[in-house]
Structure 1
Amino acid sequence: MATIGMFHYRKDPEKVRRSYSYASHAKMEGIEFFYFCSKRVDFDNQIINGLTYKNGVWIEKEYSFPDVIINPVGPLSKNKKQTEIYLKLKELIPFTSFPVGTKLSVYNRLKNGKEFTKHLIPYEKIKKPVDVLTFLNKYNKIIVKPISGHHGNKVLYIEKLDHFFKVIENEQTQNIDRIELYDYLSKLLKEQKMLMQKYIECRRKTGEPYDIRLHIQKGGEGKWQNTSVYPKIGLRDKITSNLGQGGQMTSVKKFLYKEFGEEYFNIKRYLEVFAIQFADHFDTLYDHSFDELGIDVGIDSDHNIWIYEINWRPGHLYLEEKASKLAVSYANYIAKNHSRKEDTHENDRS
């Protein structure tokens, strides 16, 4: 029987929503499961003082190092000791999740991978303010965003008009001239590294911005499958559909039917097939395999799919049961295959 450990920086599993869901699905599959944080690891004796869920409560139990570790989060970046323990465990035990890197590094990998470049929005890293002006001459409407940002923070819309530039950040719109834009960008670039993309018009018939999250995971056979496809709709005066800034999720079938009529079924199926094919390709761009991805895409007026962002830890909110079941099944798959590899190495040495 495989043993799965779940790492988290929080000491109390009651404060981690997924912990109970993982524990319950592991029990149903006959898998030993425990929760732990960095302080519970003993490298000298290779044991972890874990927490296991039994009869409605979390109880302490001593475990040997598990066959695999589910890592829905990493260590706190400011906690040096926690990071050291996390990285040391990663050298000894298979982990399920790996980071994809910054937005820029992801775009560069996709560009070099070539297979999905037609779905890649034209982009460039901003080295100096004049780069933005040159990019605007080419595309007229652009998005500027942090290379390492998330949650839609510091995302700007810039449009070149006849005698000035229209800049939108959050709900604030301002019309500024070339010199003012240059100064604005200079200040911005001193704060953080930014990239720019061509603006893709992706709005509902009623005017709200939207994108579609393709949430995919690997299951018990180690193959990609669709967990969910759901639209995220932003407020009409927003540039993006970020859920943290007033956006909302909705039913994909209902949404696609309203926007695309009788074509909704074919578009939904196209999105699902796209997600699997993309994930298979994305795996080849790295030295490790991913367990779960959240692919945010837009659909333009010609029904072309455009890739906005790739998330390696998409939220499980509203998808808890299905997502947790797949996560546990995939962890079990990793444990079994890692064990087989070790047995093969042992036989080769003997």
Structure 2
Amino acid sequence: MTTIGMLHHRKDPTTVLKSYAFAAVAKAEGIDFFYFTPKSVNFTKKTILAQVYENGTWQERECPFPDVIYNAGSPEKLAVSKDIIGKLRKEIPFTTNSIGNKWNVAKRLLAYKDFAKYIIPTEIIQKMDTVHQYLVKYQTVAFKPIDGRKGKGIYFISKEGTSYSVKNNSETTKYTKPQLDALLTEQLATGTFIVQPYIRSVTKSGLVFDFRLHVQKNGEGEWVVTTVYPRVAPAGSLVPNINNGGYTNYLEPFLQQEFVEQAFDLKRTLEHFSLSLAKHLEQIQMQEFGEMIDEIGVDVGLDQHMKLWIYEVNWRPGCPPTFYLELDVVQNTIRYAKYLAENRQVLAKARQTKRVHKAQQEKPQEEQPVTKIPKQRRQDMPIIGITGSAGKTTTKAFLSSILRTKWSTFEAKDYWNTTEHTKKHAIELANGYEAAVLEYGMAYKGVITEHCRIIQPTMSIVTNVGLAHVGNFDGDVRQVALAKSELIQGMDQRGVLVINKDDTNSNYLTLKQFKGKILTVGVHTDADYKAYNVRYKEDGMTFQIKLRGKEISLFIPILGEHHVYNALNAIAIADYLEFTPQEIKQGLLFKKPPRRLTLYRCIRGITLIDDTVHSHPQGVKAAIDVLSSIAKRRKVAIIGQMRELGDLREAEYKKVGEYIKEQDIDIFITYGFRTEEMNAAAQAAGFNSKNMYHFTNKEKLHELLEKIIKQGDTILIKGASKTNMFETVKFLADLYEGK
């Protein structure tokens, strides 16, 4: 059983309220938990005189060293025990590490450049001239303590002619220049201050606000969004901090009220930004200190041009003040602590990253890499490039999850599959990874060749050749296959290639010149990696496969036979790389990419199937198959546009309409320009026109849904992301309280 020790500077756990939450959640998770201070550590006996919560009280117990330590105390108050904590760190993993104060974080982000554009120009004040120079340039500035918390000690200064307006808390005072200099000099005597231009986010009613982005590591060691919420200042205040009388709100209604049509995109932007920044900051922490981080709180604002600015980053933000998320925060921390205890090699990888980074810095300048894969990358490092008309992202997610069971693996972010993204990935691959899984997207001839020029894969997967982007290839799927073949031609010619034997269009791939090993996957034909006994389960698929002469049963937590192919692609590569069946089985329990056949279980037995990222004929039919397979009562299909089909649009829309009739769908609804062609085909095939609808107005569509949806319905919403079909998912989830 895993044991977690909470390290704190206070001796009495009753004065640390979150200690109770940690004790309760740990018990519920089946984890031993105790509370301790540095002075209670005995290195000779490797024991700690700790506090254990039992029968409603804290009781003193002598406990062996824990498997992992959650560092909960204030750094400045733990500084007196620096040597003890240093010795503990050498023996026991710590979940939490300081990323420094807001000034240090800003300097790091500026140095590493990726997020530099979001940093507000900032200077430490050494002399008063700095403040006046900022006032000339920006008119209004914020003068704040470098280690300030909760909005305290901030002065907002505006130049108004020959005088200055200074706002502190809710009070505004006029100053002459000598008076202002005297005020600031007095403050500078108390500590270090910085100056910044004042970036102001204001609601329609004139109240100042910002957003708190709270992200954590979960039980799989992955970054997740705990919550994003706005903080609104009271009238007259410039500081949207809860401790200064501000208040919070739920994100979605706030965005709907303030930003209307931009609300959903802004929500996605904030969530993506928070996760990307967390991963970036952790990479910096690993490179500089060989440490990982597990939780950050980021305060951001929006200027009048809707540009995001980082106000500050806190490395241990605490629980959100509302929304009843205290236990969610603690649960993530406890589960991550368990993950870290059970995967100590993860920490070893962080330390290795530091060593690699240090070695790079110490190399002569002429040896430093520029844009291509750095020389420091392991020469035998597997680099897997994935392309295909469908399934790229899910295959990538499956494979990365398997490889991470024992290797430090770089995985391209969701939707990061352009050549510009590949250029960024080329730089990141210097950071001590043992494998890389990349997604090579394309809409035109020559794009994949450019991907391979930037990073040449040693192994490749072509998931399938379908009709995505076929309109850019004169409606000829063979030309699409030739463009996909650029991956085969551009990879290591003696590497490993995986192709789909069931996909007839893959026969058009150019394989003659390839000298490497070809592995095939299939479900309906014999292949090197064939799945059989494929079955739908409530939240995923089961199937069997033979690996190394033994039959094993596998489960993937995503619906659809087409996703079995994606899993097979990953299995083929992992098996070739000598991952064990158990490691493969564990890795297939992956974190599913968002909005890909995501299920929402709602009240009244209603089920929503969200498949609103991409839409092409293969994907639409696959989603309809899922609807038919899991629905227990009425089957409702809401189908949006399929884009870039060119001259094939009419024929492919006709096939979808006929497939709707073939699969006995009960209600068929289309949305978008010319999608009524699907309705016409369904009706011609014998579909009852009374159960068929077409819309180009989403509000009208939603009005209908509110009238016709019944208890027990299963509803598929399928459409390309540019058609914003997710708005319909959100409408139904809100209407029926999706879980």
Q: TM-score, normalised by structure 1?
A: 0.91
Matched residue, 1:261: 260
Matched residue, 1:310: 313
User: Aligned to 1:285, what secondary structure does the other structure show?
Assistant: helix
After superposition, the C-alpha distances for 1:230-289 in whole angstroms (9 at most, x for unaligned) are 111111211111111111121111211111113212111110011001111111222221
CA RMSD of aligned residues (A): 2.0
Matched residue, 2:84: 85
Q: Is the 8 A contact 1:168 1:174 kept in 2?
A: yes
The structure with the larger Rg is: 2
Distance 2:214 2:238 in 1: 22
- Pick the aligned partner of 1:324 from 325, 330, 334: 330
Distance 1:2 1:294 in 2: 27
Matched residue, 2:210: 211
Q: Are residues 1:40 and 2:43 paired?
A: no
Distance 1:147 1:79 in 2: 19
Distance 1:89 1:130 in 2: 46
Matched residue, 1:6: 6
Q: Is the 8 A contact 1:9 1:76 kept in 2?
A: no
Moved more, 313-322 or 251-260: 313-322
Matched residue, 1:348: none
Segments of 5+ residues of structure 2 without an aligned counterpart are 349-739
Task: Call closer, same or farther: CA 1:338–1:59 in 2, change over 3 Å.
Answer: same
Matched residue, 1:58: 58
Segments of 5+ residues of structure 1 without an aligned counterpart are 343-350
Q: Is the 8 A contact 1:224 1:279 kept in 2?
A: yes
Q: Are residues 1:284 and 2:283 paired?
A: yes
Matched residue, 1:297: 300
User: Aligned to 1:314, what secondary structure does the other structure show?
Assistant: coil
Distance 2:231 2:99 in 1: 22
User: Aligned to 1:203, what secondary structure does the other structure show?
Assistant: coil
- Pick the aligned partner of 1:336 from 336, 342, 346: 342
Matched residue, 1:194: 193
**Structure 1 position 325, deviation (Å):** 0.6
Task: Call closer, same or farther: CA 1:16–1:271 in 2, change over 3 Å.
Answer: same
Matched residue, 1:178: 177
Task: Call closer, same or farther: CA 1:101–1:76 in 2, change over 3 Å.
Answer: closer
Q: Are residues 1:159 and 2:158 paired?
A: yes
Q: Are residues 1:22 and 2:22 paired?
A: yes
- 1:38 maps to amino acid: P
Moved more, 278-287 or 321-330: 278-287
Q: Is the 8 A contact 2:213 2:299 kept in 1?
A: yes
Q: Is the 8 A contact 1:143 1:197 kept in 2?
A: yes
Distance 1:341 1:211 in 2: 34
Task: Call closer, same or farther: CA 1:290–1:79 in 2, change over 3 Å.
Answer: closer
Distance 1:186 1:35 in 2: 43
Moved more, 49-58 or 301-310: 49-58
After superposition, the C-alpha distances for 1:78-98 in whole angstroms (9 at most, x for unaligned) are 883x45433432333221111
Q: Is the 8 A contact 1:234 1:240 kept in 2?
A: yes
- 1:119 maps to amino acid: Y
Task: Call closer, same or farther: CA 1:26–1:168 in 2, change over 3 Å.
Answer: same
Distance 2:326 2:221 in 1: 20
Matched residue, 1:271: 270
Task: Call closer, same or farther: CA 1:48–1:77 in 2, change over 3 Å.
Answer: same
- 1:71 maps to amino acid: N
Q: Which runs of 4+ in 1 moved over 6 A?
A: 339-342
Q: Are residues 1:67 and 2:67 paired?
A: yes
Q: Is the 8 A contact 1:128 1:189 kept in 2?
A: no
Q: Is the 8 A contact 1:48 1:65 kept in 2?
A: yes
Task: Call closer, same or farther: CA 1:331–1:158 in 2, change over 3 Å.
Answer: same
- 1:330 maps to amino acid: Y
Distance 1:190 1:218 in 2: 39
User: Aligned to 1:152, what secondary structure does the other structure show?
Assistant: coil
Q: Is the 8 A contact 1:11 1:36 kept in 2?
A: yes
Distance 2:15 2:137 in 1: 49
User: Aligned to 2:299, what secondary structure does the other structure show?
Assistant: strand
Q: For this pair of structures, how many residues does the alignment match? A: 341
**Structure 1 position 76, deviation (Å):** 6.0
Distance 2:83 2:170 in 1: 42
Higher relative contact order (CA 8 A, sep 6+): 1
Q: Is the 8 A contact 2:9 2:77 kept in 1?
A: no
Matched residue, 2:592: none
> After superposition, where does 1:119-130 map in structure 2 within 5 Å?
119-130=118-129
Q: Is the 8 A contact 2:110 2:119 kept in 1?
A: yes
Moved more, 30-39 or 296-305: 30-39
Distance 2:231 2:223 in 1: 22
- 1:270 maps to amino acid: T
Distance 1:74 1:155 in 2: 22
Q: Is the 8 A contact 2:340 2:346 kept in 1?
A: no
Q: TM-score, normalised by structure 2?
A: 0.44
- 1:88 maps to amino acid: K
- 1:135 maps to amino acid: Y
Q: Is the 8 A contact 1:76 1:83 kept in 2?
A: no
Matched residue, 2:246: 247
Q: Is the 8 A contact 1:230 1:249 kept in 2?
A: yes
After superposition, the C-alpha distances for 1:306-348 in whole angstroms (9 at most, x for unaligned) are 1001011112144211101100011111111227888xxxxxx
- 2:329 maps to amino acid: A
Matched residue, 1:346: none
Matched residue, 1:345: none
Task: Call closer, same or farther: CA 1:17–1:197 in 2, change over 3 Å.
Answer: same
- 1:127 maps to amino acid: Q
User: Aligned to 1:63, what secondary structure does the other structure show?
Assistant: strand
Distance 2:165 2:346 in 1: 59
User: Aligned to 2:343, what secondary structure does the other structure show?
Assistant: helix
Moved more, 198-207 or 321-330: 198-207
Task: Call closer, same or farther: CA 1:340–1:119 in 2, change over 3 Å.
Answer: closer
Task: Call closer, same or farther: CA 1:16–1:227 in 2, change over 3 Å.
Answer: same
Q: Is the 8 A contact 1:256 1:264 kept in 2?
A: yes
Percentage of matched positions with identical amino acids: 40
Distance 1:40 1:234 in 2: 43
Q: Is the 8 A contact 2:102 2:314 kept in 1?
A: no
- 2:317 maps to amino acid: P
Matched residue, 1:237: 236
**Structure 1 position 293, deviation (Å):** 0.2
User: Aligned to 2:316, what secondary structure does the other structure show?
Assistant: coil
Task: Call closer, same or farther: CA 1:78–1:285 in 2, change over 3 Å.
Answer: closer
